[in-house]
Structure 1
Amino acid sequence: MTKKNDIKFLRVTHLRGPNIWTYRPVIEVWLDLGELEECPSNTLPGFTDRLTAWLPGLVEHRCGVGERGGFIERLRDGTWAGHILEHVVLELQNLAGMKTGFGKTRSTGEHGVYKMAFRTRDEVVGRAALEAGHALLMAAINDTPFDLPATVARLTDLVDRYCLGPSTAHIVDGATDRRIPSIRLTEGNLVQLGHGAAQRRIWTAETDRTSAIGEGIASDKDLTKTLLASCGVPVPEGAVARSAGQAWEEAQYIGLPVALKPIDGNHGRGVSLNLMSEADVVAAYAIAAEEGDSKSVLVERFIPGNEHRLLVVGRQVVAAAKGESLWVTGDGRQSVIALCDSQINIDPRRGESEEFPLGTVKPHESDEIKLDLKRQGLTPDSVPQAGQKVLIQLNGNVADDVTDLVHPSVAHAAALAARIVGLDIAGIDLVCEDISRPLEEQRGAIIEVNSSPGLLAHIKPASGAPRKVGKAIVDHLFEEGENGRIPVVGVTGTLGTSLIARLVGCLVHIGGKHVGVANGEGLYLDARQVSSRDSTGFEAGQRLLINRTVQTAVFESNARSILSQGLPYDRCAVGIVTDMEGLDDLAEFYIRDDDAMRNVIRTQVDVILPEGAAVLNAANEAVAALAALSDGRVIFYAADENNAVLARHRAAGGCVVFLRGGRVVLAEGAEETPLLELAKMKPSTVKHPENVLAAVGAAWALGVPADLICGGLRAFDATRKKANG
């Protein structure tokens, strides 16, 4: 078969907000198929078999057929390279652990040139998957080798590096389920849930309600024990030692066996258990002192039983996991290290990344394991006899769900411990024989209170049911009925949209709200211009949404910004559309007719919330027709009260805004509310009365009282004020 020439990428754009394709961020690619335009998949000998051999998961892609195997059917019937690339890129992202499913490919009308869009959760990963998918596709077309395992490994590494960790992603998913928006604030796991003044922030299992003092107390194990004991929470007897000799003295006083841990440690690091001799205690002291920031070590009564981790969110236990001891059995041939690899690390639940509920066991790198082995007369390189059982870890490996077994008194003690320390989210470590019985019956005790607890053991337990801890954390941060949203107003078109955005901001601000406006003239906070740079883009819009003082945000967008960046917000309370002009300016985007322009502008209406409103120019037939797309109610505006669209809408009981005798009038069905006369407004404001009507319609939709609307109209000065920036 003659090799086919390569597909060319004409343009690759990351659309970070709602766009012409979907509500979610996508990467949009403009493709020139070249000679492959004449070569659908069914004309390429062996192509489909080669592609599906590399990517058998493509059978799950339903495509337009709507059922499993739908995409494979399309391949065998004949489909084009752009469409195939879309599915290949999606499947590579799935294989790398970043689940995505949305993709579309459309012809531009120019021979061989297509626009292809695919969902991605991270731009870096998405672009890398695009390049890899392109290489794989051409290898399948030309029957040349392709190293899929290496490609997936590289993409997986990028997912681990650039995407949210699984615990944070789980919380964000919980917020998404409640329709709470989210913004990633750093390349790490600091995420904002909600917008503006309604936002909360999380950093994995820490929140902006997590007390710094509480975290400090939790890191001081001796202080934590003192506080818990004073409130009647069962804790093991213990004392602080500042030398190995003192640790042995305290161990003899408490009574063997004992446990040693750093006084300022966390998450079980540096902990040695079931110590029975002076040599063990001295060795354990060195481990604990090295792990902690101070040389102080806590010596405690060793509590027999299994370790448990209870996750407390707010005032209740929402998940519990149980640990188990780790053993290997010798075969007379393999070292302890090799036995761990063949008997423990082979478990698919174990791995190096956060995706795995259990970690890889490395005896040669763990001082705690080395100490346990030494007490058995072994080292990591020792070869145990055939049949010899070797203890690797007495506790830890907390990954088996036992949430439904927790005794109410145990749950009460754990929740109380979190409150005593002062943490809104805490991991409570306790040891007992049976979690379904009260601690007092079995000499069980709480041994540690952790801030920023790990969530993966509850999200992906090694056994038992996964727990919706992300939902619990979101429910803790947001009361029932709260969605983390502030009113967002979007203004799209070319007719006075900058002025409309500012005027809406003024009308809302006069009611006592802190308002941010991002438009073509700049960025405004409470009518004060803080930047004179064009702020119709995504970045400027995000500045408003992360501002904790902003209670209402108003954004101007246009067809170009929607096509090149997407909207800067996910949904809005009010969407204003003035017109669909500017087609000539969009030829470079392959937007060349009215239908294509409508598909761009409708984005503004598509994102209106069901409880929101579309404010549409009734004098523009194409704009008025967008009313059918609004999930919310519709408010029409026009200078002429006899406008046919206005009249029909009003007759049906709808809301309209119009002029009568030079006065702005609101009407809902037969009920009318006269507002201010144009003559009483500043001349710069009323140069184009339709702009005033659009802004008034938005203020009305937001519930601004009529008298305050009149006050705002009277006070507003449309003269543009300059600012540095």
Structure 2
Amino acid sequence: MKIKEIRVYRGRNVYSHRPVIKMTVDIEGEEIPTKDIPGFNETLLNLLPGLKKHTCSYGYEGGFAKRLEEGTYLPHVTEHIILELQNVLGYDVKFGRARNVEGSLYNVIFEYSLEECGIRAAKLAVDLVNKLIRGEKIDLEEKLEKISNIIAEVELGPSTMAIKMEALKRGIPVTRVGNGSILRLGYGKYQKIIEGTISQNTSCIAVDIASDKILTKKILKDHGLPVPEGDVAYNEEEAISIAEELGYPVVIKPYNGNQGKGVHLNISNREEVVIAYRNAKNYSDLVMVEKQIRGRHYRVLVVGEKVVAVAERIPAHVIGDGVHTVKELIEIENKNPLRGNGHEKPLTKITVDAVSKMVLQKQGLTLDDVPRKGRKVFLRESANLSTGGIAIDRTDEIHPHNIEIAVRAAKAIGLDIAGIDITMEDIRKPLSATNGAIIEINASPGIRMHHYPSKGKPRNVAKAIVDMLFPKGSKATIPIVSITGTNGKTTVTRMVAHILKTYGYTVGMTTTDGIYIDDKCIYKGDNTGPKSARTCLADKNIDAAVLETARGGILREGLGYDLADVGVITNISEDHLGIDGINTLEDLAFVKALVVEAVKDDGYSVLNADDPMTPYLAKKAKGKIIYFSMYDNNLTVKRHIENGGIAVYVKEGVIVIANGQIVPVVRIEEIPATLGGKVLHNIENSLAAIAASYGVKVPINIIAKGIKTFYPDTTHNPGRFNLFNIGSFRVLVDYGHNVEGIKKVIEAARKLDANRLIGVIGVPGDRMDSSIFKVGEVCGGGFDFIYIKEDEDLRGRKQGEVAKILEEGAIKGGMDKKNIKIILKETEALKAAMHSAEAGDLIVVFYEKYEPLVKVIEEFVKNRQIKNMEDENKVRAYP
């Protein structure tokens, strides 16, 4: 079995509303049932015993094992192995599918939690299956260990993960920025950025102060807060001098260290001072020597001027059993499933280094000694969890006076989230200079000790942080309108964006021609996929987003947003069939239905009641449905209104909204995009736009104002039914590229009182021959003369191939061959049409690239004006 492709779907997708990976594999020959492969089933279940619990198609535990026994196909087995490998690595994933694509190709689709884990599990699963088929051995434990090490590097730590999960629980979209600990919570102007526990509101100066222990200590002292006595040592001799002046025991630590690195406590003589100084010097140029404060180590967490959690931290240690050596006890403790590398788990593994050996020496022990039963053997003196320490919750015990001191300390430094480290005998008693001190303040405090204390009640610090960033009643996201369909989606997108802008919103918009922020194009080109949506939503200036969402992007990667307030499907008709496994209208509807499936519970799905595929889409739609229709007697609309639903439709030349009562919005003849009601498809587009705008609660008078000021020109709707007057004739430029779209444009063009209708036609080369032929047939019956051109991007076709099919279709549609001219280059075809145009002609050009055609038209007008001036001058010169 060979992997052909791996594709990651990070957003909601056609397979699942959770992130999935699609791996295409080639089984490279005849399918072999698992029961016919010697030793396959037995070896597999021994390697991954968790597979015995998989239910599979039988719906009960052991179902998959039964399928193995009966003989199932290898891609199906691979799917289950991938899921189980992820389970073994600590991720609770269940969804999977394996489906034949064609011949020996299969798609294996599976849920993932961490992308790097999912991809590596997939590759390992294929390797495992291949080795089992060949009867080769595989060291699965070693390979899983390698993946586990990679995961530890890229997975979010417990603190960041807790914040992410709390935000999701509140319905706040979360985007991980890069592979570090930076999260974007929310969309648009309401989004907040947080890195670990440093929020976007955290002052940069405050972080710098907290990182400088000397400066922190001075500021706290200036605020009358108790801190240890001490000074900075610039060399070993100064360290010894300061220690002896303070009196032993002392603490030696780097002035700008973190996680307890280089910190030495209970230093009691000159020799220990030198060793500790040299170690601390490895972490910082400056070294601090302070008086040792006796007592327990507490971490007080302040969030937004409130103490939300308190933990007593106990340094890394093991308990003697009278049997095992210290080294063996450490190894046993590190097998605790709660312990991992770095911050991957609630506790960190205990490491053995020079510091731990020195701490053991102080206790009269070495790694090879066997402590008596019950003896507590410390491996560290600093109580950081990152060096293997544990935490006990003391939140309910802290004295009110100490709460006040902690909050004052955080405010003195300027931190909105702060970890205040206090050493004192008992947190239940007031802190004073005689019984304790503030040791340091942390600007990015870890919160796993509070979420996962070794003893005591877990404290949901992540909730406090999210609540601080998004106080009750505040917004985390912006109105999102997502628009798809076969025809009209670009125009509807632009109409909705214009209406929202009329309402006062700063709008982010993605379309086939670019990403726009407040009408300014920040990125040109087709931007209707998930990456473009994410780019738009990440902009901090916007307070509304209107996203054109094309079929291609959905199939490639899924959606680029979580849930929309309004999802719109304009219509479903033949387009792109035969591509990416989409062969029927039902297939196409299934893909586009994702837009109305991913709608908020209190949002709206806008559907075309005149479209035959709408009953299918309505079954999948979420939120409430708003139907739109060209007809007031549409049966679907009438029933919907009777049942208390909302509908937008045309009644006696007026677009109305029915929602308990019938409210007129705008007369059709007042909508510029309809050219006085002649352009029927823009009436339909206006209905969809009005429905979507109503769904995001834009007042009806504003909707009317917006739709009445949206023009079919190069400013508001470039490339969509743009009409250019060229003196005695006109040119109509449109993006019609499928049968229904072209048919509607021709129908509208025939109402524009032209003497002759001339078509400049072409179709993308990736369409099926039958679709291209139909376009030619429609054009042959609709135009008086045709220029056939081809796209620059032939999409796998030979030059002239598409043109030939179009010509055959046009002749079938009734066009005389002498009225057909083939000019393959788009701009040259338009030039020829304009130069041959007669007075009263209307040239309709269906373009591939818009701007070059507009340039051709502008140059033609300019040249004609120059010629007219020259002719006029000649007349004046020779009367």
Q: TM over 0.5, yes or no?
A: yes
Per the alignment, residue 203 of structure 2 pairs with 211
Task: Say whether 1:638 aligns with 2:632.
Answer: no
Cα distance in structure 1, aligned partners of 2:254 and 2:180:
28
Alignment of 1:300-699 (within 5 A): 300-326=290-316, 338=327, 341-342=330-331, 345=334, 349-364=338-353, 366=354, 368-369=355-356, 372=359, 392-396=379-383, 397-409=388-400, 410-440=402-432, 443-482=435-474, 484-582=476-574, 585-682=576-673, 687=679, 688=681, 689-699=683-693
1:405–1:435 CA contact under 8 A, matched in 2: no
Partner amino acid for 1:288?
A
- TM-aligned CA distance change 1:481 to 1:90, over 3 Å: farther
2:529–2:552 CA contact under 8 A, matched in 1: no
Name the SS for the 1:439 alignment partner.
coil
Cα distance in structure 1, aligned partners of 2:323 and 2:392:
35
Cα distance in structure 2, aligned partners of 1:9 and 1:343:
40
Partner amino acid for 1:518?
T
Name the SS for the 1:133 alignment partner.
helix
Partner amino acid for 1:75?
L
Deviates more, 1:608-617 or 1:179-188: 179-188
The Cα of 1:390 is off from its aligned counterpart by 6.8
- Within the candidate set 80, 92, 97, 1:87 is matched to 80
User: Residue by residue, what CA displacement relative to the aligned partner does 1:659-683 show, whole Å, maximum 9, x if unpaired?
Assistant: 2343322221333233244345245
Cα distance in structure 2, aligned partners of 1:77 and 1:159:
36
Cα distance in structure 2, aligned partners of 1:672 and 1:389:
79
Name the SS for the 1:291 alignment partner.
coil
Alpha carbon RMSD of aligned pairs, Å? Answer: 3.3
Cα distance in structure 2, aligned partners of 1:334 and 1:78:
49
Gaps of 5+ in 1: 1-5
Gaps of 5+ in 2: 719-849, 853-879
1:682–1:717 CA contact under 8 A, matched in 2: yes
Partner amino acid for 2:290?
E
- TM-aligned CA distance change 1:154 to 1:483, over 3 Å: farther
The Cα of 1:331 is off from its aligned counterpart by 12
Deviates more, 1:304-313 or 1:199-208: 304-313
2:568–2:692 CA contact under 8 A, matched in 1: yes
- TM-aligned CA distance change 1:320 to 1:558, over 3 Å: same
- TM-aligned CA distance change 1:223 to 1:70, over 3 Å: same
The Cα of 1:354 is off from its aligned counterpart by 2.3
The Cα of 1:207 is off from its aligned counterpart by 1.3
2:641–2:659 CA contact under 8 A, matched in 1: yes
Deviates more, 1:175-184 or 1:90-99: 90-99
Per the alignment, residue 3 of structure 1 pairs with none
Per the alignment, residue 171 of structure 2 pairs with 179
- TM-aligned CA distance change 1:680 to 1:621, over 3 Å: closer
Cα distance in structure 2, aligned partners of 1:104 and 1:475:
39
- TM-aligned CA distance change 1:465 to 1:145, over 3 Å: farther
Task: Say whether 1:21 aligns with 2:15.
Answer: yes
The Cα of 1:168 is off from its aligned counterpart by 1.9
- TM-aligned CA distance change 1:206 to 1:592, over 3 Å: same
The Cα of 1:118 is off from its aligned counterpart by 0.9
Cα distance in structure 2, aligned partners of 1:591 and 1:99:
32
Cα distance in structure 2, aligned partners of 1:678 and 1:533:
33
The Cα of 1:236 is off from its aligned counterpart by 2.6
1:429–1:448 CA contact under 8 A, matched in 2: yes
- TM-aligned CA distance change 1:629 to 1:362, over 3 Å: closer
Per the alignment, residue 52 of structure 1 pairs with 45
2:249–2:268 CA contact under 8 A, matched in 1: yes
2:155–2:344 CA contact under 8 A, matched in 1: no
- TM-aligned CA distance change 1:481 to 1:632, over 3 Å: farther
Cα distance in structure 2, aligned partners of 1:330 and 1:115:
54
Partner amino acid for 1:394?
E
User: Residue by residue, what CA displacement relative to the aligned partner does 1:42-84 show, whole Å, maximum 9, x if unpaired?
Assistant: 5545433222111112234333444443433443444432222
1:321–1:398 CA contact under 8 A, matched in 2: no
Structure with greater contact order relative to length (CA < 8 Å, sep ≥ 6): 1
Name the SS for the 2:561 alignment partner.
coil
Cα distance in structure 2, aligned partners of 1:322 and 1:423:
22
1:260–1:284 CA contact under 8 A, matched in 2: yes
- TM-aligned CA distance change 1:58 to 1:476, over 3 Å: farther
Per the alignment, residue 698 of structure 2 pairs with 704
The Cα of 1:147 is off from its aligned counterpart by 1.9
Partner amino acid for 1:317?
V
Name the SS for the 1:225 alignment partner.
helix
Cα distance in structure 2, aligned partners of 1:655 and 1:333:
77
The Cα of 1:250 is off from its aligned counterpart by 3.7
Name the SS for the 1:640 alignment partner.
coil
Per the alignment, residue 105 of structure 1 pairs with 98
- TM-aligned CA distance change 1:166 to 1:59, over 3 Å: farther
The structure with more radius of gyration = 2
1:280–1:375 CA contact under 8 A, matched in 2: no
> How many residues matched?
709
User: Residue by residue, what CA displacement relative to the aligned partner does 1:573-598 show, whole Å, maximum 9, x if unpaired?
Assistant: 00000122235x24242233343333
User: Residue by residue, what CA displacement relative to the aligned partner does 1:120-143 show, whole Å, maximum 9, x if unpaired?
Assistant: 234443222212111212333443
- TM-aligned CA distance change 1:592 to 1:442, over 3 Å: farther
Cα distance in structure 2, aligned partners of 1:331 and 1:200:
50
Name the SS for the 2:630 alignment partner.
strand
- TM-aligned CA distance change 1:646 to 1:218, over 3 Å: same
Name the SS for the 2:613 alignment partner.
helix
Per the alignment, residue 266 of structure 2 pairs with 274
The Cα of 1:490 is off from its aligned counterpart by 0.8
Name the SS for the 2:379 alignment partner.
strand
User: Residue by residue, what CA displacement relative to the aligned partner does 1:604-638 show, whole Å, maximum 9, x if unpaired?
Assistant: 11101011101110101312442233331111111
- TM-aligned CA distance change 1:660 to 1:123, over 3 Å: same
Deviates more, 1:496-505 or 1:413-422: 413-422
The Cα of 1:694 is off from its aligned counterpart by 0.5
1:498–1:521 CA contact under 8 A, matched in 2: no
Cα distance in structure 2, aligned partners of 1:251 and 1:77:
76
Partner amino acid for 1:532?
K
Partner amino acid for 1:651?
E
Per the alignment, residue 212 of structure 2 pairs with 220
- TM-aligned CA distance change 1:85 to 1:659, over 3 Å: same
1:247–1:281 CA contact under 8 A, matched in 2: yes
Cα distance in structure 2, aligned partners of 1:24 and 1:226:
51
2:348–2:389 CA contact under 8 A, matched in 1: no
Partner amino acid for 2:23?
V
Task: Say whether 1:63 aligns with 2:56.
Answer: yes
- TM-aligned CA distance change 1:330 to 1:25, over 3 Å: closer
User: Residue by residue, what CA displacement relative to the aligned partner does 1:352-399 show, whole Å, maximum 9, x if unpaired?
Assistant: 3322444444444x4x44654665688x7x866986997532232442
The Cα of 1:503 is off from its aligned counterpart by 0.9
